[in-house]
Amino acid sequence: LILILIGGPSFSSSIKEDQKIESYYVDNLFYKILKYKSKKEDSLSAKSLFYKGMSAFMLKQDHEALDYFIKSINRDGKVGITFYQKGITLVFLKDYRKAIDAFDMAIQISPNEPKYHLVRGDAHLDLGELEDAIINYVHASSLSNCPPSVYTDIAFAYGEMGDFNESREAYAMALKFYQPNADEYAGITYNIGFAQQMNGDYFDAKKTFEKYLLKHPYNYAAMAKLIQINYELNNIAAATYLKKLLRYAYDNKQLKGEMRDKYCIDQFYWNGHLVFAYEFFENNHDNSVEVSHIFQVKDKNKNLICELQLELDSTNTNSNENVYYLCIIKDDLHQKFGMLPFTDKLDYTELKLAIINVLNDQAKPTEELDGYAAWCKYLDQDYNFGFDGSSFNDAIVASSVPFEYNWIMENFPEANYKSQRLFFHEGKPFDILIFEDKEGRQLEFYFNISAFYADVD
């Protein structure tokens, strides 16, 4: 966002002192600039005060930078770049409304400077004022020397508004400015596919992501999108094949970020709210229950309204298959729908229908638990799900390394630590902690660390 010409901004005066400070700035001597006549700043020109502000800004001293920009403006209030940098500093201080006021002044001075309109649009975007953001971006696009990235700004803002048709068109315009081998081209293509998907143009989205994956076969986020789209088109065989590819990537620790343990299998609207559906590669152990799927319902501001999850029935001993029950958590109330069982071989279409029925209050809960958070906290004190840590098969499921030691200290307070080893058993990581009791006997404790092992790679 900092666009300073080598010749410096155009102030009303240019004296030898200004040139000296400007040369320091070009050489990145920011501390030297801040020390320069620090006790005689009242004698400095607007240009010198501007460079002091820039130096403080570059050193991330935002409050000090703001003070210098204000002093510079008080000396000479006709320099657009100073108002621009004042606004940028206010953005960093998250005072977006005052930042917009500063950008307004910069635009009054230099109305044909596109970057001033772009940053004002960004500030409106930060405030959630999407229409105002788009107005600024569109105006900037009409000015000469406006960067082509403005079209991705327009597309993003339309996407935040939920107008994915306009978003797709803006991304398509942006694509014209880049060569096929450019990183920007790849990112824009991905976003076009996403906009097509969210607009319900599933056939077009399918083609876009299939072409994208031909060039970027290891973009697993795009692969997850294509899985979602194939489910929408009822291409179950294609979705199943892609899920196998994702599973292979998971088994070989090729997935990063959120996808290390789960991926988004679907996203859809319910009553104007966006629902994100996730499937775990291995049952998740958060809140001391085993969960295979989770559905997060969010409002337009991306605030969580409620969560639905498939919870394993740990009491089931009458079936060769795992049995899961659909549950919903809202406002610290946990409701279980015992009449909606699923197995590991579930039909996702049926699960999605059940989710919508629960959200529409068309299904009755069979169990309710108020104070769910406190209940989970209580269960987390005993996270081993009945296992005693005596072997790989009876390993305690650990949530962190501190958890392992706390568990031992709580259950064997007189034991003394000896050593720790990392083992892999049937493809899963285990910590084996060796302790010794007061009689000198060796104690071995097995902990399954799958839940956090990837974090320490």
The strand pair at 442-448 and 428-436 is best described as: antiparallel
For 320, half-sphere exposure in the C-beta direction (CA atoms, 13 angstrom radius) is 0
Residue whose C-alpha is closest to residue 320's, from 290, 300, 344: 344
Q: Is 422 exposed, middle or buried (0-12, 13-18, 19+ CB in 10 A)?
A: exposed
| Residue-level pLDDT at 233 | 93
C-alpha torsion angle, residues 29, 34, 37, 40 (rounded to 10):
160
For residue 128, give the DSSP letter: T
Contact by Cβ (8 Å): 268, 254: no
Q: Tell me the C-alpha distance between 63 and 172, whole Å.
A: 40
> What local confidence, expressed as pLDDT, does residue 380 receive?
52
Q: What is the pLDDT of residue 256?
A: 87
8 Å CB contact between 151 and 192: no
Consecutive sets of 10 residues in the chain, 457 residues long: mean pLDDT of each? 47 72 89 87 90 93 96 94 97 96 97 97 96 98 95 96 95 95 94 95 97 95 95 92 94 89 90 92 77 92 91 77 92 89 89 95 91 65 55 83 84 84 85 84 86 59
Phi and psi of 334, rounded to 5°? -110, 125
Estimate the share of the chain in helix, then strand, then coil, as percent rounded to the nearest 5. 50, 20, 30
Token output for 96 = 């977006």
In this prediction, residue 454 carries a pLDDT of: 59
CA separation for the pair 170, 76 (Å, rounded): 39
Q: Which residue(s) pair with 421 in the sheet? A: 432
Tell me which DSSP letter residue 266 carries.
Answer: E
Pick left, alpha or beta for residue 159 (phi over 0 → left; psi -120 to 50 → alpha; otherwise beta): alpha
Q: 232: which 2 tokens?
A: 């929408």
CB atoms within 10 A of CB 317: 6
Strand duo 333-343 + 428-436: pairing: unpaired
Residue recorded with tokens 């005993």: 382
At 313, list the tokens: 């029935």
Tell me the CB-side half-sphere exposure of residue 315, using CA atoms within 13 A.
2
* pLDDT confidence of residue 14: 55
Angle between helix axes 164-175 and 150-161 (nearest 10 degrees) is 170
Only one residue has tokens 């969560």, namely 307
For 421, other C-beta atoms within 10 Å of its C-beta total 10
The whole-model pTM stands at 0.72
- Write down the pLDDT at residue 250: 93
267-272 own/partner pairs: CB under 8 Å, 24+ apart: 267/198, 267/228, 268/352, 270/297, 270/356, 270/359, 271/359, 272/300
